[in-house]
């Protein structure tokens, strides 16, 4: 069945470091892909999305490109801040309207 | 707009007790869903609804019931609580034509 695999955390970086969180997926057809972020004590918020191959989603300095050939949607940011500390979830939506989430990657940014 | 609201924020139950987790949204969204979040497991879909009067099972529906009598409300009922249902529960909603889900703040449930 459809699934999402993302790198396990926690990931610990210093402020201003480059961030990559890997995400790969398995799906039939052409799903939409998402990154959600969960700040401590809160629900998830949509960070960015891509709905077709080669689309690049971007928001708040984060980017991810929908790569159909490698079935990947890696999250990147050029210079992280302490305020980026959170849990990041990769997700896909097949055409049956049910969103499938990865297990989440906890990110710690040290000042 | 209040967005998606959930009550209570915290709850402790004894094994065998029943309770209802409340979820409401004021955005007139068609789709509503319930997820549970467990360490190392991500979010798993319990039940979802694509409109008033229509509900369907997700990945982990056993032990939970839902109903959708109005567009705004989507309560989740635990029929006979078990320790395995200790989790954080999130309600979410979205418009049928949109990809973005809006999440509530969550309910942390402990079953002893």
B31-55 pLDDT, tens digit each: 999 999 998 778 999 999 999 999 9
Q: What pLDDT does B99 receive?
A: 76
- The answer to whether B6 and B22 have CB atoms below 8 angstroms apart is yes
CA distances from A71 to A15, A25, A54 (A): 30, 6, 11
Measured between CB atoms, which of B42, B45, B105 is closest to A43? B105
Give the span between the Cα atoms of B70 and B33, in whole angstroms: 14
B47-85 pLDDT, tens digit each: 999 999 999 999 899 999 999 999 999 999 999 999 999
Give the position of tokens 């799903």: A31
Min Cα distance A49 → chain B (Å) is 8
Cβ <8 Å between B99 and A32: yes
Q: What angle do CA B25, B21, B53 make, to 5 degrees?
A: 60
CA-CA-CA-CA dihedral for A40, A42, A43, A45, to nearest 10: -70
A55-98 pLDDT, tens digit each: 999 999 999 999 999 999 999 999 999 999 999 999 998 766 67
The arithmetic mean of pLDDT across residues A31-52, rounded, is 92
pLDDT at B97 over 70: yes
Measured between CB atoms, which of A41, A43, A100 is closest to B90? A43
Q: How many CB pairs under 8 A join A and B?
A: 47
Which residues of chain B lie closer than 8 angstroms to A43, CB-CB? 4, 90, 92, 103-106
The arithmetic mean of pLDDT across residues A33-45, rounded, is 92
Q: How many CB atoms lie within 10 A of CB B46?
A: 23
Measured between CB atoms, which of B48, B50, B104 is closest to A43? B104
B/e letters for A61-81, b = 16+ CB within 10 Å, e = fewer, are ebbbbbbeeebbbbbebeebe
């Amino acid at each position: 069945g459809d699934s999402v695999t993302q790198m396990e955390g926690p990931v610990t970086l210093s402020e201003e470091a480059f961030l990559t969180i890997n995400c790969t997926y398995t799906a039939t057809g052409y799903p939409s892909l998402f990154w959600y972020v969960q700040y401590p004590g809160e629900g998830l918020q949509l960070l960015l999305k891509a709905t077709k191959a080669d689309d690049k989603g971007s928001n708040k300095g984060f980017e991810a490109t929908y790569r159909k050939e490698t079935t990947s949607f890696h999250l990147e940011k050029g210079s992280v801040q302490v305020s980026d500390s959170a849990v990041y979830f990769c997700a896909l939506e097949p055409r049956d309207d049910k969103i499938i989430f990865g297990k989440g990657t906890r990110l710690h940014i040290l000042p | 707009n209040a967005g998606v609201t959930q009550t209570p924020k915290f709850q402790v139950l004894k094994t065998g007790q029943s309770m209802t987790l409340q979820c409401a949204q004021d955005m007139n969204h068609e789709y509503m869903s319930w997820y549970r979040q467990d360490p190392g497991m991500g979010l798993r879909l319990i039940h979802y609804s694509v409109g008033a009067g229509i509900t369907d099972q997700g990945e982990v529906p056993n032990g939970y019931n839902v109903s959708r009598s109005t567009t705004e409300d989507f309560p989740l009922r635990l029929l006979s609580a078990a320790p395995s249902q200790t989790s954080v529960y999130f309600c979410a909603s979205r418009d049928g034509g949109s990809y973005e889900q809006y999440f509530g703040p969550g309910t942390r449930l402990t079953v002893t």
